[in-house]
Amino acid sequence: MKQYNLGFLGFGNVGRALARLLLAKSGELREQYGVEWRVAGVASRRLGWLTSAAEAAAGFDASALLSDQFFKDTYSPSNSIGAWLQDARPDVVFETTSLNPETGQPAIDYLSAVLESGAHAITANKGVIVHGFRELDALARSTGKRLLFESTVLDSAPVFSLFRETLPAAKLRGFSGVFSSTTNVIIETMEAGRSFEEGLKTAQDLGVAETDPSHDVDGWDATVKVCALASVLMNIPLKPNEVVRQGIRELSPKKLQAARTAGAPFKLMARARLGSDGKLVATVRPEQVPASDPLGNVRGTSLAVHFELDMMPGLTITSHRPNLQSTAYGMLADFINAVRE
């Protein structure tokens, strides 16, 4: 049995869902993996940098998650990422701070500090992977710690670990996917004859639209995911401005209804493919996809990715209506995979 000190860097919806999941699965973690844990540090814009010394560790329970008061009463303040890491001495840090699609900062600097302190770095932040994968991956290798990020692209659906663990010596030639549930929900609402605004409202009510809807609607969200997949799975450090990108603003209900009726509905399709010249061509744009295609068939908030491999004609992974718990589970799986080896 080993006890792990956990640090939460960012403690919003995903961080709290992960804490709930750790509590719910604590028996299984102990029995199946010999893993015990305590929350050694929590940091967020609201809470500041808080740590709890091992000797003073209060019993962290489900009720603690309902309010910030528990942490304020029980934990001590630090004043920077460096001091926080030194005071909390985490073995594993879960990073869920807000996405910065342009630079991935400050999360990249935080995770550098985490890895340098000797902790495993687990992130749900796709900006980090797009802008910092090479640097952080090299740092993780040099410190002997893990950088894991399963929740960044298809929520909990195992995409990165699939290639890392289950598809050795297979070459990825290209991939395509429906990566944005917000645009999918908006398109389906408009197919039903309602307006763009009603579609956006529905996506917001479902809790899938990002804070800034233009991020989804203009295809940035899907673009960042394409870059993350290309960087990690194809070892090509694709940047968002290298992706041909077009959002869904020019689609009208009439056009969408006609496409659906013709059996080839519009989807915001993300694609990347190695050309015969060895160059990667990546696009994110509305495309008509036959409803009989697994990607044309992705409904509502579900997400899917299709891989073209040298070793098999095609492999599609569909994640059905992933929710907050699914995203948190991706991070829990990363935690177990980081420590069980």
Considering the complex, state which of residue 74 and residue 316 has its C-beta at the smaller distance from a copy of itself. Answer: 316
Residue from the set 57, 167, 236, 281 that interacts with a copy of itself by CB under 8 A: 167
Considering the complex, state which of residue 157 and residue 186 has its C-beta at the smaller distance from a copy of itself. Answer: 157
Q: Which long-range contacts (CB under 8 A, 24 or more apart) does 50-53 make?
A: 50/75, 50/76, 50/77, 50/78, 51/75, 51/76, 51/77, 51/78, 51/84, 51/87, 51/88, 52/76, 52/88, 53/87
Q: Which of residues 22-41 bind a copy of itself (CB under 8 A)?
A: 25, 28-29, 32-33
Q: Does 262 bind a copy of itself (CB under 8 A)?
A: no
Q: Smallest distance, Å, CB 83 to a copy of itself?
A: 33
138 SS3 class: helix
Q: Which long-range contacts (CB under 8 A, 24 or more apart) does 192-201 make?
A: 193/253, 193/257, 194/253, 195/253, 196/249
Q: Smallest distance, Å, CB 313 to a copy of itself?
A: 5
Q: Does 196 bind a copy of itself (CB under 8 A)?
A: no
For the four alpha carbons of 239, 241, 246 and 249, in that order, the dihedral sign comes to: positive
Q: Does 45 bind a copy of itself (CB under 8 A)?
A: no
Q: Smallest distance, Å, CB 233 to a copy of itself?
A: 14
Residue from the set 162, 236, 254, 284 that interacts with a copy of itself by CB under 8 A: 162
The β-bridge relationship of strands 280-288 and 266-274 is antiparallel
Q: Does 166 bind a copy of itself (CB under 8 A)?
A: yes
Q: Smallest distance, Å, CB 137 to a copy of itself?
A: 16
42 SS3 class: strand
Q: How far apart are CA 305 and CA 240, in angstroms?
A: 19
199 SS3 class: helix
Q: Does 317 bind a copy of itself (CB under 8 A)?
A: yes
Q: Does 276 bind a copy of itself (CB under 8 A)?
A: no
Residues that bind a copy of itself (CB under 8 A): 25, 28-29, 32-33, 150, 155-158, 161-162, 165-170, 291-292, 294, 297, 299, 311-323, 325-326, 329, 332-333, 336-337, 340
